[in-house]
Structure 1
């Protein structure tokens, strides 16, 4: 089974090519490791092993100040599980909605050195992920008579 942990250059280019004007909301679906794997970032590893969920909580705590400074906001963080409609046996442990004022602001946030210094907590925590940029769609007029 293929996993997805980081965006590709092609996907990043495609996001810019969409020409999104204004706010963008990122839908994150996350499958977490049973035990966090800090092999790629041993300098961030805690003294004792922790779960992927605990490592992701450390990532959130590290990230929120930089997200807020960049004009972004965490709109929703929730616990997931199996789908009601979707592939049987597929699960996502966490779902998250992150709002940013623009694609450019999102990219600046994602490239901020201080933010990147704690990205290893996410790497240690996440087994698989999906990230879907969303743009608000206007609701259709509905006759409510």
Structure 2
């Protein structure tokens, strides 16, 4: 049986669909994150700490690196929470953490995602994650 597909980066097609959605105003990014037991810095050894660390610890390094670039771009990390078993959902599926990030606009998100300073620390995320999901959300008015 082949190993399940891990989703760590957007595909070109997904990026095109994201832009084509033509969000107006702010958007929220729902992140579901599954960490590696031990962080794997083989793709970015220059970022590796001087000792072995967990995927969760590597993701903490990613967050610490990322926050200044996120806030400078008009973004806000407004929720970070520990995961666990689903109340509704597949019993075998697990997510270690959920994160909600608000961006002022698609343009500010894209500027953040292309920032060379931000990209310099992206290897912490890659080292940390076994799998992830990223769902862009637009606010909907509550009809009552």
- Identify the TM-score tier after normalising by the shorter chain: over 0.9
Q: TM-score, normalised by structure 2?
A: 0.97
- 1:1-145 counterparts in 2 under 5 A? 1-141=4-144
Deviation at 1:2, TM superposition (A): 1.0
Please, what is the CA RMSD of the aligned residues? 0.5
SS in 2 for 1:43: helix
Whichever of the two has the greater Rg, that structure is 1
Give the number of aligned pairs.
141
Q: TM-score, normalised by structure 1?
A: 0.96
Deviation at 1:108, TM superposition (A): 0.7
SS in 2 for 1:129: strand
Moved over 4 A (4+): none
Structure 2 residues without counterparts, runs of 5 or longer: none
User: 1:24 & 1:73 partners in 2: Cα distance?
Assistant: 11
